[in-house]
Chains A and B, each alone.
Chain A
């Protein structure tokens, strides 16, 4: 039987939420699942990895993410263990790491997959920031995929069996691109691409200071704070908060758009949200055509009321 690999992405030794999605998908493929994980403390991750075939644990005294070390190590494992398919998350790290591995192993990579049909070799991925979708066939023996977070279903493992564990060392041959430090964000921001709930502000927010209102609600809901391009260009929000065609593509359960008119480019970045709520004083704003729920009203009145109501139920 063919083998499929999953890269288990960790952040400060904690498992990323979407690893569960990637592992569930790999199991669904019907192939032998190999998980590749860079950690010195495997025990805490074993629960998540039940029911797969093998765990390949990479140990080192310093496992700080260096793309050259990681891509060399994984490329060797892919060859050594005959992994014909390889899955990871379409995260900031996934987008940095996977193309390097694909180039090194001469595999074909498709980023940002939202559906993978292993049997018929068909991958669905968004293009034009999700305004269109494409079905892709990969004519290659070696295929790699990064999956969009929050899309693929998570299946609880029905097996209690512990996989075989193989330990490998980090390949530290060459370091061309050297990460010297991580600059933490001043506030502990929720990552928008993985967030379950996002509250975003647009031009209607009028001032940078007014985003505090959204941050308060975000804290209440454990949500991320986003912004439209207009808000970023006006200096109300930073560019890492931008949702849309030239910003982040997000996929939360709940997206609350405050003072966002709903330009096609913004909509492209959040249209796959399960539920979209629009708050806008202009009843003609295009966002209302796309929203599941809309409130026509002044956001400076609606948002505080919303906070009050949410506090009651949470």
Chain B
């Protein structure tokens, strides 16, 4: 069985973000991580690999040179192979999905594709569904439970109000991983040693012959939202404080 996991390298959730040239983030001093939902995707692939003999897990990413580290991280968790579509160019989700689809098809057989339901930098919620539509295969997003049985996939996906949809798909299909699906493992020391020796397959957008790179979503400006002024902190007697608070919420803020 061949499983692909698409991952994206993003700034650490604790990183301080500042804007450079009004359009991109300042990358100086940023610690980069695998987007957390993609880590859930890797974990689910590795769990399945442990159950089904002769299963290969291949990681794939698109981005600049630094993204190699994300692939090394995933290999250290236990993935078998890695593909890096290397580009310094900013490309929109549609083009990313197209490139991923072509690269996956080039590898031959694919049974399952795991990918995070969103990347925590651009928060687009697009790539996984575009990828599935590109390949003409089923997709489920926001998946919190996954089961595989004889070429059929059963998932649960979280919808509004804490409800869940139970979904059936045939393979190949795309799974958009959400938190709640699993707890990603930490790479073992041995895993890290092993990961260093696995060659990463390098591809360029030109190699994939995706044609003209016609970005249609253009970022004009990136900026920090205005800060709220410091509010009112009530200290001292709690009973009076709560009374004051409720009165303020009702009369001043008018939210009750």
Binding site for B on A (CB under 8 A): 11, 91-93, 95-96, 99-100, 102-104, 108-112, 122, 125-140, 176-185, 187-191, 193-194, 197, 221, 238-242, 245-247, 253-254, 264-265, 271-272, 274-277, 283, 288-298, 301-302, 305-306, 309-310, 312-314
B53 at the interface (CB under 8 A from A): no
Interface pair A197/B255, CB less than 8 Å apart: yes
Q: Which of B134, B219, B238, B256 contacts A301 (CB 8 A)?
A: B238
A-B CB contacts (within 8 Å), total count: 240
Q: Which residue of B lies closest to A274 (CB)?
A: B255
Q: Which residues of B contact A135 (CB under 8 A)?
A: 219-223
Q: Which residue of B lies closest to A268 (CB)?
A: B13
B141 at the interface (CB under 8 A from A): yes
A-B CB contact pairs (8 Å), 18 listed: A11-B160, A108-B94, A111-B124, A128-B11, A128-B123, A132-B19, A136-B217, A177-B138, A182-B159, A185-B161, A197-B255, A239-B144, A292-B231, A294-B234, A295-B233, A295-B242, A295-B245, A296-B235
Complex: how many Å from CA A193 to CA B160?
A: 8
Interface pair B17/A185, CB less than 8 Å apart: no
Q: Which residues of B contact A181 (CB under 8 A)?
A: 165-166
- The size of the chain B interface, using a CB distance under 8 A, is 78
Given A177-B138, A240-B158, A288-B233, CB of A133 within 8 Å of CB of B125: no
Binding site for A on B (CB under 8 A): 11, 13-14, 17, 19, 25, 36-37, 92, 94, 120-126, 129-130, 133-134, 137-142, 144, 156-170, 173, 178-180, 215-225, 228, 230-235, 238-239, 241-243, 245-246, 248-250, 253, 255-256
Q: Which residues of B contact A245 (CB under 8 A)?
A: 13, 120
Interface pair A179/B223, CB less than 8 Å apart: no
Complex: how many Å from CA A122 to CA B120?
A: 22
Interface pair A138/B216, CB less than 8 Å apart: yes
